[in-house]
Structure 1
Amino acid sequence: MASLAQMTGSLYIHNFYIGKLKARQEQLFESDPELAQLLDNVAAVLSEHAVVLADDIADMECDN
């Protein structure tokens, strides 16, 4: 199992890329709606994983 520091770092990276994907998706919405939708879908998957990571981090912090 990953350490708390590794999980926190992973959550930070997830949130960073979610922000990047959403910003790019907004830029492409008019010019390439299919790519914008794809980026939105990828951001949604990363967001779901980030929620799981945040829950796991909270559980680990409660255990300590």
Structure 2
Amino acid sequence: MPSLAQMTGSLHIHNFYIGKLKAKQERLFDSDPELAMLLDNVAAVLSEHAVVLADDIAEVEYKE
């Protein structure tokens, strides 16, 4: 299992890219709605994984 620092770093990276994807999606919404929808789907998958990571982090912190 990864360390707490690795999981926390991974969560920050996920959140960074989720923000980037959502910002790009908003800019592309009018010019390329299909690409905007794809970016939204990718952001949703990353968001789901970020929730799992946050839960894992909370569990590790609780055990400590």
Task: Please say whether Structure 1 and Structure 2 have the same fold, judged by a TM-score greater than 0.5.
Answer: yes
TM-score (normalizing by structure 1): 1.00
Q: What code does the residue aligned with 1:10 have?
A: S
> Matched residues in 1 for 2:50 and 2:3: separation?
16
Counterpart position of 1:25: 25
Partner of 1:49, secondary structure, is helix
CA deviation vs aligned residue, 1:21-56 (integer Å, no higher than 9, x gap): 000000000000000000000000000000000000
Q: Mind listing any 5+ residue stretches in structure 1 that lack a counterpart?
A: none
The aligned runs of 1:17-56 (5 Å cut-off) are 17-56=17-56
Counterpart position of 2:10: 10
Partner of 1:2, secondary structure, is coil
> Matched residues in 2 for 1:62 and 1:54: separation?
12
Report sequence identity in percent: 83
Count of aligned positions: 64
